[in-house]
Structure 1
Amino acid sequence: MNIVSSTVVFTVDDLAGSRRFFTTHLGFREVLETPDFTWLSRDDAAADILLHQRDLELPRERIAQPVVAFAVTDLAREYARLHAEDAPITRQMWRNPWGEWLMRLTDPNGIVVELTEWIAPGGA
């Protein structure tokens, strides 16, 4: 597997507050913002941060487990390899409208590992 970047995902109640904290005090900049999440990055070796808005309709005990995301090359090949190894795949590959392919595995302690590959929406 070739990991090209890393992202830590936090599920938060106050998306705007966390975004202000990381951009004001820690030098992160917004890369992408939607009503549900904000992707933050820096120009140094810091891992990217994805702030995900908690679904306020869900009870607190249903908050998402910790997530670490790795951008990889050739996600389809990695998916096939992991599937052949009977890895604990907890979300099959899917594609978001903005061109990101994703899949998820979950370790025995509930840590979610998300593997992603960015492909332009046109497929190129």
Structure 2
Amino acid sequence: MKVTSTAISLNVDDVTASADFARDHLGYERAMAADGFVSLKRGDAAVDLIFLRRGIEVLPEGLREQHTAGLIVALVVDDIATEYDRLSAEGVPVVVPLRTEEWGERLFVVADPNGVHYEFVQWITPEAGDAGN
């Protein structure tokens, strides 16, 4: 098997709102779109995003009405402080403020209008981190 790309499909109520959020704040570009469907890509290693409107017939019957929940899209970045400042200045809802975990993970989490959560991560050596943020 040879994998040529990776995508995650997320069921949401408002496909346009999630797609616009990913475009405006996360640097994604629209690759394909149709009624109830948007596929987004970036030019780097980020996972492709597919937003599907809940209830759309392309979804298996048992999943059609489910809303994306309990899932976090993680994006590893080079300069987490800059991303935190940028997204905060853009008014993006921060649901977990910037912090450093003892194992060397620096992170924060934001949410889009449909409640899709994005975790920004930067790996650091634990002694280089600032435990407060």
Which one has the bigger strand percentage? 1
Larger radius of gyration: 2
Structure showing greater relative contact order (alpha-carbon pairs closer than 8 Å, 6 or more residues apart): 1
State the TM-score bracket (shorter-chain normalisation).
0.3 to 0.5
Per the normalisation by structure 1, the TM-score is 0.47
Per the normalisation by structure 2, the TM-score is 0.44
